[in-house]
Amino acid sequence: MSFENIGLSESILRAVEKQGYDTPSPIQKKVIPHILAGKDVLASAQTGTGKTAGFTLPMLQILSQTNQSGKKPVRALVLTPTRELAAQVHESVESYSEFLDLNSTVIFGGVKQMKQVARIKKGIDILIATPGRLLDLVDQKLLFLDKVEFLVLDEADRMLDMGFARDINKILALLPEERQNLLFSATFSSDIKKLAKKFMNNPKLVEAEPENSTVDKIIQTAYRVDTNDKLNVLINMINEGNWKQVLVFTRTKHRANKIAEKLNKANISAAAIHGNKSQGARTKALEDFKTSSIRILVATDIAARGLDIPLLPHVINFELPNVPEDYVHRIGRTGRAGASGEAISLVAHDEVDYVAGIEKLLGEKFDRRIIEGYEPKLEDAPPTKKQNGGGANRQRSKPNPSSRNRDESKFNYKKKKKFLGNK
């Protein structure tokens, strides 16, 4: 199936061509026909699969077929969990609708509302919003949602994780009954299914990739490194590889700040992005990273969710996430749209169990390594019963392939002399 015969209009095809897309991605092939047929769609799609175009292209097509003249009410509402994702979706909507008489805007918190309100007053067809600011403007009677024909919940699982369930319910109550609903989520958790049941009308279920699988083209390596050595290892990796664009993840905002600071001191340009940063600082950090003004973006999970940085070659987990699903989202920042990428995890003594949890979720094993000169000093306990079926023996962390108790979860059987070169 090509874009030409998927049922999209000439003006939309022109915009798609301008983006340089040759063929629809698997998720696009699956969802576009359903959406064009007017169906509700519940789709599980990994980040980086082209899901934004998957819902935007057919939505634009339908909206443009019944274009309204005069003052435009909001006809399509796209809800996203984070400001960055909202801005990114808006950018996509703008480019895909370039040759159509439809307009769009984006609203989110953390910035003054004045400009957003002025834009809405002019009349817009498509509104991309985070839930908080949306409800704020509705409460102030500056925004009305009673003419919405399309509702899209993008990254709905993250919206629930971030505690937006109540806001979503409030927003649903503001919309007209008659509308088309699309829900995109990385996973089909029971909470997502429950939410879908609440507002969707006999939705078509679409799964573009197996749940929680990582993109095939990403090389995933885990280095067992003691916490104190992590920063040096990170700096060495970046320098030796002469890496120009690396996204580094931490679990805490404080650590993100610290690492960015230390990298800058080591003459590696870096910025941190997390929830405590002002929106201006977040936008600037992301823009600087995308335009390669800085080499390293250090991010926490929430801030980085949904970021689309084309051809991002390296993602480094400075700390592993304690929720295995977050790992999938993190490494989804690389290997996007079929490009290859590398995901590296620096695993400290107290994170070994997280590895087991992630591997269990992925159904695959990491390539495990230790680095000469940075051999871990602490011995690792075997994985806990909960993570990996148990195991009572404590072993030294050194190669011992012949041991009967050799445990696959240990980081002890591939040594890397240098950071690069002999991989």
Contacts of 216 (CB under 8 A, 6+ apart): none
Length of the chain: 423
Taking the least distance from each CB to ligand AMP, the nearer of 305 and 336 is: 336
User: Distance between CA atoms of 362 and 210, rounded to whole angstroms?
Assistant: 10
3-state secondary structure of 319: coil
Taking the least distance from each CB to ligand AMP, the nearer of 52 and 317 is: 52
Taking the least distance from each CB to ligand AMP, the nearer of 51 and 255 is: 51
CB of 393 to ligand AMP, least distance (A): 44
CB of 100 to ligand AMP, least distance (A): 18
CB of 95 to ligand AMP, least distance (A): 9
Q: Cα torsion at 213, 299, 259, 288 (round to 10°)?
A: 120
Taking the least distance from each CB to ligand AMP, the nearer of 3 and 199 is: 3
CB of 55 to ligand AMP, least distance (A): 9
CB of 333 to ligand AMP, least distance (A): 10
Taking the least distance from each CB to ligand AMP, the nearer of 125 and 308 is: 308
Look up residue 359 and give its amino acid: E
CB of 139 to ligand AMP, least distance (A): 31
Taking the least distance from each CB to ligand AMP, the nearer of 2 and 293 is: 2
Taking the least distance from each CB to ligand AMP, the nearer of 85 and 270 is: 85
Residues 305/161, Cβ–Cβ less than 8 Å: no
Alpha helices by DSSP H, listed for 37-185, are 51-65, 83-96, 114-122, 131-139, 156-161, 165-174
Q: Which residues of 21-56 are buried (b: 16+ CB within 10 A; e: fewer)?
A: beebbbbbbbbbbbbbeebbbbbbbbbbbbbbbbbb
Q: Cα torsion at 151, 155, 158, 162 (round to 10°)?
A: -40
CB of 245 to ligand AMP, least distance (A): 14
User: Distance between CA atoms of 98 and 18, rounded to whole angstroms?
Assistant: 10
3-state secondary structure of 275: coil
Which residues would be at the binding site for ligand AMP (CB under 6 A)?
21, 24-25, 28, 47-53, 308, 310, 336-337
